[in-house]
Amino acid sequence: MRSKPARSMILPRMVVTGPGVLEQLPAIIAELDIPERGLIVCDNNTLQIAGNQVIEYLVAGGHPMEKIVIEGANIEELDRVEAYSDKIDFLVGLGGGRPIDLAKQAGFNKDIPFISIPTAASHDGFGSARASIRQDGRKTSMQAIPPIAVVADTSIISKAPRRLLGAGVGDIISNQTAVLDWKLSEQKADYSEYAAALSEMAAQLVEDGIDKVANGSEEGVRLVVKALISSGVAMSIAGTSRPASGGEHKFSHWLDSNCDTPALHGEQCGLGSIVTMYLHGGNWEKIRDTLKAVNAPVNSKDLGIDEGIVLNAFLNSKEIRPQRVTILDKSNQKQIEEAALATGVIG
Ligand SMILES: [Zn+2]
């Protein structure tokens, strides 16, 4: 596996966002100077939504395309994608999460450029350097590199279920508590003022424009997409996921590992952020109200997870990446219970 030079930033070379931008794919690939043969990684659903269209545009643009329809983001599927590596010059990941994670990781392992085409705006993974791949039944976050290009067609993303957009708001809003956690005293070594500012601004812009997001307009969807891309860029600038991942993410990862039917990543992070913002002494009501505006969960009942398990996730989040100190690691059981109750997340 390759590693990047210390203190370097790897960023996407092209980010194209707007209604109907999928059509520009051949022009984008020409601009990036990528050779001909491509492999599209999708699932059954995204193949119908946009996959066939993507293949059509690329074939018409002179790119022979292979297609792989995956069923999950696990090591076996990753092997299946990587088996194509000698026959292709670029990878396209098309989906909400799993196809993008697989294409990203395969591209990194095999040194093949990867283009990210999100079909939903439910989390910041489509522009980030990290991939979530299942190994032995457990979700593991792996280091990769960001896509060479992100092509986010907002007319496609606008048609995704509204719940996914609400989750995207949760993931982006949680940047605020991630940055507060990052600022905790002994975390200064890797702290980046620029990355923190960009990450917070992305959350702020979505908070300010939440009415547009709530009515599902293309403009609102574009706001969330751009914020999620900025979040990925902030992580690339920092060289760590810290600007967009603090205690609320540890809470979410704990639920993913210990709960049979977890909720969506962004839903869990958004809800986690209400409690960690309370612990930081910040404006947690603003976070709750922003989530409410897009019908994202603000308590354990909305989340569909038993309140005892939700409380356990806050109390035991220390088990996840213990070296990453957050407000949850610095609070005692009584303080965490009080925060969960006072915010109405449980009780
Ligand atoms: Zn996240």
* 150 & 182 share domain: no
Q: What is the pLDDT of residue 190?
A: 84
Ligand 1 center–CA 249 separation, angstroms:
6
pLDDT in tens, 231-280: 999 999 999 999 999 999 999 999 998 998 999 999 999 999 999 999 99
Q: Of the residues 157, 180, 208, which one is the last residue of a structural domain?
A: 157
Question: Do 133 and 263 reside in the same domain of the chain?
Answer: no
Confidence of residue 3 (pLDDT cuts 50, 70, 90): low
Q: Tell me: do 213 and 280 sit in the same domain.
A: yes
As a whole number of angstroms, the distance between CA 17 and CA 155 comes to 10
**Could you report the per-residue pLDDT of 304-326, keeping only the tens digit for each?**
999 999 999 999 999 998 889 99
Same domain? For 121 and 144 the reply is: yes
- Print the domain residue range for 135: 14-157
For the domain that residue 290 is a member of, what is the CATH number?
1.20.1090.10
In a domain, 186, yes or no: yes
Task: Identify whether residues 141 and 212 lie together within a single domain.
Answer: no
Q: What is the pLDDT of residues 97-125, one digit of tens each?
A: 899 999 999 999 999 999 999 999 999 99
The C-alpha torsion from 246 through 248 and 249 to 254, rounded to 10°, is 130
Q: Are residues 306 and 169 in the same domain?
A: yes
Last residue of a domain, one of 107, 123, 157: 157
- 211 lies in some domain: yes
Which of residues 126, 157, 188 is at a domain's end?
157
Ligand 1 center from residue 228 Cα (angstroms): 9
Q: What is the dihedral of CA 243, 144, 100, 117, to 10 degrees?
A: 70
How many Å lie between the centroid of ligand 1 and the Cα of residue 68? 26
Contact (CB, 8 A) for 302 and 262: no
Of 122, 118, 127, 94, whose CA–CA distance to 224 is shortest? Answer: 122
Reduce the DSSP state of residue 214 to 3 states and report it: helix
Q: Same domain, yes or no, for 172 and 108?
A: no
CA-to-CA distance for 70 and 100, rounded, in angstroms?
Answer: 11
Query: Looking at the structure, do residues 88 and 146 belong to the same domain, yes or no?
Result: yes
Ligand 1 centre from 66 Cα, in Å? Answer: 30
28/153 same-domain check: yes
Model confidence at 343, pLDDT cuts 50, 70, 90, reads: very high
State in Å: Cα 233 to ligand 1 middle.
Answer: 13
Find the 240 Cα to ligand 1 centroid distance in Å. 13
CA angle 64, 146, 182 (to 5 degrees): 165
Measured between its terminal Cα atoms, the distance across the chain in Å is 47
Tens-place pLDDT, residues 162-201? 999 999 999 999 999 999 999 996 666 789 999 999 999 9
Give the model confidence (pLDDT) of 48-79 as tens digits.
Answer: 999 999 999 999 999 999 999 999 899 999 99
How much distance in Å is there from the Cα of 177 to the middle of ligand 1? 12
- Kindly give the distance from the C-alpha atom of residue 37 to the centroid of ligand 1, in angstroms, as a whole number: 32
Using a cut of 0.85, tell me whether the model's pTM lies above it: yes
**Same domain assignment for residues 207 and 309:** yes
Neighbours of 210 (CB within 10 A): 21
d(CA 135, CA 253) in angstroms, rounded, equals 15
How many A from CA of 30 to the centre of ligand 1? 32
Using the mean position of ligand 1's atoms as its centre, give its distance from the Cα of residue 265 in Å.
Answer: 7
Number of domains the chain contains: 2
Is the pLDDT confidence value at 1 over 60?
no
Same domain (yes/no): 260, 184:
yes
Residues with CB under 5 A from ligand 1 (ion): 171
Is residue 177 situated within a structural domain? Answer: yes
